[in-house]
Structure 1
Amino acid sequence: MKPTGWLPSASTAAKAYDVQDALLAHLGSGIGGWKVGAPNAETEPNCAPLPASGIHASGTALPAARFPARWVELEAALRVGQRLEVRQDMPTPTELASYFGAVVPTLECVESRLAAGREAPALLRLADLQSHGALIVGEPAPLAPQALDLRTLQATLRFGEEEVARTTGGNPAQDVWRLVAWLARHCTERGVPLSPGQIVTTGSCTGLLVAPVDTDVVGAIEGLGEVRLRYAA
């Protein structure tokens, strides 16, 4: 990943989202999904589109030379089953859940196209697809809305045989349906409604950790299954 010298500044969230659109066009990829998250249960969420070209199946080996930071985080994600547009009344959580066909464990590979990396201003990181590099997707499981509670999800992350994270309720956003409702309206207003097959990630359950090279990275979320990747030298 190299810094993009053409990347414009982003002084507001709205301008950051405009830059996201320009960056997606620059990368020459359609939208394969979205990442949405919030630092707590009250703050307005933010989001970024996920380039379809960067979404891979569990077990993928990524070249470490192209992913020098090797930051990873384990996330619960939803797979969209039906086109979802929100123009007037906000759907209830039960109504929202009906638009999603499955839940999947994912590993997000976090990278930066900015010279300052993680030290760049928050709005510029948002413009840079919220530092998204790639997404590794595990096998889908049936969605049980009442069981998808970010406050109680149990998650573990291993590098080889070493367990590097074990959490219960590690996602600070807490309410998955608040995130999804906000995202559905945002995407509708942005002119790119959530569409079948897209993957919606909902924020880290384990925090951000640096993975080693040539070592299996294995994430597991209770009730959702496992997902794995490897950074290959």
Structure 2
Amino acid sequence: MSATAVAELAPDDAAQALCRARRDGRRVPSKLVQPHSREAAYAIQDATLAAIGPIGGWKVGATGPGQEPACAPLPAGALVPNAAVLRGSAWHLRGAEAGVAFRLGADLPPRARPYTRDEVGLAIAAVLPAIEVAETRLADWLDADPAALLADLMCHGGLVLGEPGPFDPAWFDLRQVEAVMRFDDQVVAHTVGEHTHPDVGALLVWLANHCVARGAGLKAGQVVTTGSCTGMLFASQGTAVRVEVAGLAPLSVFF
């Protein structure tokens, strides 16, 4: 039986391999967790979260306007506060992205009709600056099929969350948002409106309805991060990563 067929038939087995990699700080060949479709990748995600703990949030993104979004649930234990120190065998890549996240103040449970932009906006309690830390459980992640990366929670390692601010619907549009990232005192990214899908409101609406179709729904207290304003940059061990998103409090993470 091929590795692809194994992934098609046994998402639980693929999830177990990914969970072992998380626990042991090792990596697995992507062919061992290779799903045949997005639906199969999402099944592996669900099995992974069932094994490692409750969902604390979601990440959602798209490669550009008009492109189909993709998403991944985030383990509650991977959401960490500002100024967190992330060291140890779990941190191989230390990829850092500056972004904007949203905390839900109300549930968006499964229902028959789709959620609208206004309804999603009313469910949001706060906006937060975020640093997503990219990691992978895949040994050959640079050459891995996108479906395998999707199954691996879209290479999620951790989400550093800064001080929350009041939500305003203007935050659904990031076309004018300025972001600065520093490694120690050196500016490594300074962008204005360079988010790959700046209409993050559309991403949140898609996610709300995707989660309904997935049988779960979004829940109050969960945090949704919406992609990168700076692109991903890789930090060396011993680096302090500092981020400023205009209109929000600064935040940092230490490797």
TM-score range, shorter chain: over 0.9
Whether 1:177 aligns to 2:196 is: no
1:40 maps to what in 2? 64
- Helix, strand or coil at the partner of 1:182: helix
2:216 maps to what in 1? 192
2:140 maps to what in 1? 116
Aligned mates of 2:197, 2:55 — CA distance in 1? 24
Structure 1 or 2: more strand by fraction: 1
Distance 1:201 1:147, change over 3 A: closer
Whether 1:106 aligns to 2:168 is: no
1:17 maps to what in 2? 42
Amino acid at match of 1:14: E
2:100 maps to what in 1? 76
* Structure 2 unmatched runs, 5+: 1-24
Amino acid at match of 1:144: D
Per the TM alignment, residue 196 of structure 1 is displaced from its structure 2 partner at its CA by: 1.0
| Contact 1:86 1:184 survives alignment (8 Å) | no
Per the TM alignment, residue 64 of structure 1 is displaced from its structure 2 partner at its CA by: 4.4
Structure 1 or 2: more helix by fraction: 2
* Structure 1 unmatched runs, 5+: none
Higher relative contact order (CA 8 A, sep 6+): 1
2:191 maps to what in 1? 167
Per the TM alignment, residue 213 of structure 1 is displaced from its structure 2 partner at its CA by: 2.0
1:52 maps to what in 2? 76
2:161 maps to what in 1? 137
Over residues 10-61 of structure 1, what are the superposed CA-to-partner deviations in whole Å (9 max), with x where a residue is unaligned? 11000000011122233x2110000000000101100000011111000110
Per the TM alignment, residue 149 of structure 1 is displaced from its structure 2 partner at its CA by: 1.7
Amino acid at match of 2:49: L
What is the total number of aligned residue pairs between the two structures?
Answer: 230
Using the size of structure 2 for normalisation, the TM-score is 0.86
Using the size of structure 1 for normalisation, the TM-score is 0.93
Identity across the alignment (%): 40
Aligned mates of 1:96, 1:64 — CA distance in 2? 38
2:33 maps to what in 1? 8
